[in-house]
Chain A
Amino acid sequence: MASHETPLDPVLDDDEMSRRDVILIAAGGFTAIGTAAALWPLLDQMNPDASALSLATTDVDLAPIEVGQAVTVVWRGKPIFIRHRTPEEIEQANATPLDDLIDPLARNVNLPDDAPATDENRAAPEREPWLIMIGICTHLGCIPQGQAPGQYKGEYGGWFCPCHGSQYDTAGRVRIGPAPENMYIPPYAFTSDTKIRIG
């Protein structure tokens, strides 16, 4: 235990700038930098690791999916909704004015960030019947219903999230909250007429 009589360091107690201040500031600065550098690996180890990153792509053959059918595949551990939409569903999505949407952006990483949420921007390029999106509600990450036959699809005929009641239309656009954004379109491309590669 330090005694109360311990004399204060005469130099440290000095208010005036001295050469020792330079050493103090430099030592303090390097300690801070060194601590931050040592801390970084401890934090960064939690980020997705090489094995998670290596699961980057998923190939899907669309040929067996009939009009009106939907399938769910897994990409990076996330469900990907693929729906082969009927002409009525496409028409319904096209008939919706953009002003009626909660989220006016397409949320399609294959397009510019500010692309509007038209059905064309949401659907597969030049293959409008196909809607391929990440099947995760943008509210708190639940998986909406509407893929399996007989499931409730919500008032807009798309998807319905059972957790907090968000509803999506036939283009996967949020129409009733609390979800703030349309379901996201993953990066994907057609590798042949009927095959896609996601990721």
Chain B
Amino acid sequence: MAHPSTYQPRSGAEKWLDERLPVARLMHDQFMTFPTPRNLNYWWTFGGILTFILVAQIVTGVVLAMHYIPAEDRAFDSIEHIMRDVNWGWLLRYSHAVGASMFFLAAYIHTFRGLYYGSYKAPREVLWILGVLILLLMIATAFMGYSLPWGQMSFWAVTVITNLFSSLDAIVPGLGTTLVQWIWGGFAVGGPTLNRLYSLHYLFPFIIAGVVVLHIWALHVPGNNNPAGIEVKSPKETVPFHPYYSIKDGFALLMFLLLFGVFLFFAPNLLGHADNYIPANPLQTPPHIVPEWYFLPFYAILRAVPDKLLGVIALVSSIVVLFFVPWLDTSKVRSTSYRPVYRWFFWAFVVTCIALGYLGSQAPEGWYLFFGRVFTIYYFAFFLVVMPVVGKFERPRRLPGSITEAVLGHAEQPRSRKREAVA
């Protein structure tokens, strides 16, 4: 939220710098005194958690790159070398691998938070779009990172996913094949492919960091949404970010790190696939290929469609549709807490995403395929039918008059009346 700067340079040096590059002023105004709605709940702490994980992933990744070798015949062994020989290598690699899962867990919670509380609605559309862009970049980065151990799952995940582009052959014959060979740098997935995936895996996190800066900028123009979904009406309805939310975010981060630690120290391979400890074999496809858990819902959508090209289109659309959410939702009310009809559809959507995740891990046959199709249809119907239609016909519950009222259950009592009561 744009607010008058309260920064006061305290020393001559600070004043000197402030007149040349007011970076201390920026930090003070945006991260210390930034007015933040006083009713934010713990679902609002995931932005801070995500920032922490991004930094942690970059730090562990840069360190791992000092030991990893992106060559077809040495990549797998260099990972084992990190695990067994490098000082603390096991910790760094498991932190990075489990960190990817935690990154997606936090990002999905953050996204569902935005969906539930209508944080994508005006004037926060650009903020939302940048968030979806970050999600897309995360998906690409995670996919490329997963290829680097060059185990069986790495190799065949790269094969299957890059082959998605060959479906373009159905539109322009030869286009898909040309594109796929350009991605591979050969006629099959091989050494050149691994090398470029490594290069881009190193680059993308910094692009993400750049978009995150824009995301925070876009957040700080209109300010935070809040659980009531109503605008801040007076400065009394806000508190400075520090210490109120720096402490709250910090506490939530510690709780989240406990969960991270449980996986990291007690089940570091639980979220991975055992087949990735078999070196890549280009002549043998594993009997059952599954992506990492965070891609399973999208994988289920891909497999729910019997046609190759249409399956790929469905897969891409399932993420691209998020870009249009600000305009698909026609309701004037932001927070789902005040939407008695929509909330049922919303929770059905959450169940759908979890169900698709389960179905994505199962073989696509029989009832699994049937339900995969049912849930895929609901996934798209939620965005394309429920959001536009329910918003038009639903009668929302009465909104609180202010954030204060939402918190206290009544408007703030004028002081004079309190005094009278005492008297």
Structural contact, B185 and A139, CB atoms closer than 8 A: no
Q: Are A178 and B187 in contact (CB under 8 A)?
A: no
A78-B187, A177-B306, A178-B308 are known contacts. Are A47 and B283 too (CB-CB below 8 A)? no
CB-defined contacts of A47 to chain B, threshold 8 Å: 181-182, 185
With A46-B182, A163-B289 given, is the CB distance from A52 to B187 under 8 Å?
yes
B369 nearest CB across to chain A (Å): 9
Whether, in the assembled complex, A125 has its beta carbon less than 8 Å from a beta carbon of chain B, the answer is no
Give the docked Cα–Cα distance between A47 and B283 (Å): 23
Find out whether the CB atom of A52 lies under 8 angstroms from the CB atom of B186. Answer: yes
**B79-87, B162-170, B388-396 - interface stretch:** B162-170
Asked, given contacts A72-B283, A140-B163, whether A180 binds B308 with beta carbons under 8 Å apart, the answer is yes
Q: In whole angstroms, what is the CA distance A48 to B181 when docked?
A: 7
* B308 in contact with A78 (CB, 8 Å): no
In the complex, the answer to whether A49 meets B311 with C-beta atoms within 8 Å is no
The main secondary structure of chain A at its interface with chain B is: loop
Q: Which residues of B contact A87 (CB under 8 A)?
A: none
Closest to B284 in A: A143
- Asked whether any CB of chain B lies closer than 8 Å to the CB of A62, the reply is no
- Interface membership of B156, Cβ < 8 A: yes
How far does the alpha carbon of A141 sit from the alpha carbon of B188 in the complex, in Å? Answer: 9
Q: Which residue of the partner chain, among B160, B186, B196, B286, contacts A76 with CB atoms under 8 Å?
A: B186
B287 at the interface (CB under 8 A from A): yes
Contacts of A195 in B (CB 8 A): none
| CB of A77 closer than 8 Å to a CB of B | yes
Cα A54 to Cα B169 with chains together (Å) = 26
Interface size on A, residues (CB 8 A): 27
How far apart are B197's CB and chain A's nearest CB, in angstroms?
Answer: 11
B364 touches A165 (CB 8 A): yes
Measured CB to CB, the closest approach of chain B to A29, in angstroms, equals 27
A164→B303 contact, CB < 8 A: yes
**Contact yes or no, B285 A142, CB < 8 A:** yes
Q: B159 contacts the other chain (Cβ, under 8 Å)?
A: yes
B192 at the interface (CB under 8 A from A): yes
| Cα-based distance from A139 to B285 in the complex (angstroms) | 14
Per-residue contact bits, chain B 133-170, to A (CB 8 Å; 1 contact, 0 not) = 00000000000000000000000100111111010001
Instruction: Say yes or no for B288: interface residue by CB 8 A criterion.
Output: yes
Binary interface encoding of chain A residues 66-98 relative to chain B, with 1 for a CB under 8 A from any of its CBs, else 0:
000000101011110000000000000000000
B190 touches A77 (CB 8 A): yes
- Select B285's contact among A52, A72, A143, A180, beta carbons within 8 Å: A143
| B32: chain A residues within 8 A (beta carbon) | none
Cβ A77 vs Cβ B188 within 8 A = yes
- The residue that B163 contacts in the complex, of A74, A141, A144, A177, with Cβ under 8 A, is A141
A46 and B183 within 8 A (CB): yes
Report whether A76 and B188 are in contact in the complex, using a CB–CB cutoff of 8 Å. Answer: yes
Interface residue? B405 (CB, 8 A): no
The distance in angstroms between the C-alpha atoms of A43 and B185, with both chains bound, is 11
Contact with A along B46-63 (1 / 0, CB 8 A): 000000000000000000
Q: Which residues of B contact A (CB under 8 A)?
A: 156, 159-164, 166, 170, 181-190, 192, 196, 282-289, 303, 306-309, 311, 363-365
List 5 interface pairs A-B (beta carbons < 8 Å), by A numbering.
A48-B192, A79-B282, A162-B287, A177-B306, A178-B306
In the A-B complex, the 4 residue pairs with the smallest Cβ-Cβ separation, listed nearest first, are A77-B188, A141-B163, A76-B187, A140-B163
Task: For the A-B complex with A140-B160, A141-B159 known, give 11 more contacts whose Cβ atoms are closer than 8 Å.
Answer: A47-B185, A48-B184, A48-B187, A72-B283, A74-B282, A140-B159, A142-B160, A162-B288, A165-B365, A177-B307, A178-B308
